Amino acid sequence: MNCEQWLGETASGAVRYFSFGRHALTEALRVAGIAPGDSVLLPEFLCRDVLASLVAVGATPCWYPVGEDLQPGSAPDGWRLARIVMAVNYFGFPQSMTPFREYAARTGALIIEDNAHGFLSSDWNGEWLGARGDLGVFSLRKTLPLADGAALLAVRPGLAGRLAPQLAAAAVGYAPSAARKASLRRTPVFGPAAVAATTGLVRTLRLLRTGHAIPPPDAAAETVIPHPPAPHDGLAAALAAADAQREIDRRRELYRTVERAARALGITPLFPELPPLTAPYGFPFRADPGPALQSLKRWASLRGLDLIHWPDLPDVIVASAPTHYRSVHLVNFLW
């Protein structure tokens, strides 16, 4: 699906827009009929801020393990009973839906496909990620340089009628400078260097002021969504103007460029291949702290790219998290 088709889905009434994916997930849980105390089955390998959506509706999280290949780490017939099961397309790469469909067939659960990382990706069969379950959640601002932007797609017939009315757009959004930063980064020759220098200056000033070059994890992330739900007033125009194929091509080319640099340092990508219809969120890999990781971080910084550790795990998972949950890093492609 391209951006024009996505806008067509909007016209059909099956899409609602939000500022953050967490608000879209909250609405998905409401549309699914989740009531206080109902269980929602989540992968253990997950950003902790997702839990704020469950708190908003009073749902109780339960968990299934994730293997080193980022597929479910156990068979679905052993998963706890829940009203909802969430499948995650990590880093924009397609998650197999087979175990989730088996679980849903056995339990009657609805499937929410978390496609926060993969707005422009499709799977091996050409099915658009986020449209393979009953409800699909998208964080558009993680693919395109937007002030904010997320969406909920009601896939199963009948669910669109349960969606709340579209919220009115709200002013400039959560991060109004995002588009300006992207424009600077795309300046020929000097763009990446300018972004790297600007980012370095901002982080130095923040370090001097707060003691942290990068803001530390928010202690309230599991309970509070830090921005109102309405999307910014430029979102529709930005989506209409987006060149989806150009963005897909850029991300795939950048992935291969980073992969060459990483392999030269002895770092291998997390996924064994880049599927033909994947628009990667970034270049994910596993690495221990050491010279290779620092070298790749410097290489990325010189090109205006951030290398981050992912994810900030939920508190309940951290203490018993296996090593393969803790060692994932990402060169982010957002610009």
Ranges of H-type helices in the chain: 3-12, 21-31, 51-57, 98-107, 178-185, 191-210, 235-241, 244-264, 291-302, 315-318, 323-326
Q: At 226, which amino acid appears?
A: P
Residue 13 — very low, low, confident or very high, per pLDDT cuts 50/70/90? confident
Average pLDDT of every residue of the chain: 90
Residue 280 — very low, low, confident or very high, per pLDDT cuts 50/70/90? very high
**Annotation: CATH topology of 178-221+244-332:** Aspartate Aminotransferase, domain 1 (3.90.1150)
Residue 327 — very low, low, confident or very high, per pLDDT cuts 50/70/90? very high
Ranges of H-type helices in 112-173: none
Nearest to 55 by CA among 224, 294, 251, 200: 224
For residue 177, pLDDT over 90 is answered with: no
> Which tens digit of pLDDT belongs to each residue from 219-231?
799 999 999 999 9
pTM for the full predicted model: 0.90
Over range 199-219, report the average pLDDT. Answer: 58
Domain residue spans in the chain?
3-162, 178-221+244-332
What's the CA gap between 286 and 68, in Å, rounded?
Answer: 10
What's the CA gap between 127 and 95, in Å, rounded?
Answer: 12
Residue 213 — very low, low, confident or very high, per pLDDT cuts 50/70/90? very low
> Which tens digit of pLDDT belongs to each residue from 60-115?
999 999 999 999 999 999 999 999 999 999 999 999 999 999 999 999 999 999 99
Q: Which two tokens stand for residue 189?
A: 């020759």
Q: Which pLDDT belongs to residue 161?
A: 95
Q: Which pLDDT belongs to residue 206?
A: 47
Let me know: does 268 contact 240? Beta carbons within 8 Å: no
What's the CA gap between 100 and 97, in Å, rounded?
Answer: 5
**Annotation: CATH topology of 3-162:** Aspartate Aminotransferase; domain 2 (3.40.640)
Residue 304 — very low, low, confident or very high, per pLDDT cuts 50/70/90? confident
Let me know: does 298 contact 262? Beta carbons within 8 Å: no
For residue 185, pLDDT over 60 is answered with: no
Q: pLDDT > 90: what percent of the chain? A: 79
Nearest to 138 by CA among 165, 156, 120, 111: 120
Over range 136-149, report the average pLDDT. Answer: 95
55-75 b/e (C-beta count within 10 Å ≥ 16 → b): ebbebebebbebeeebebbee
Q: Which pLDDT belongs to residue 82?
A: 98
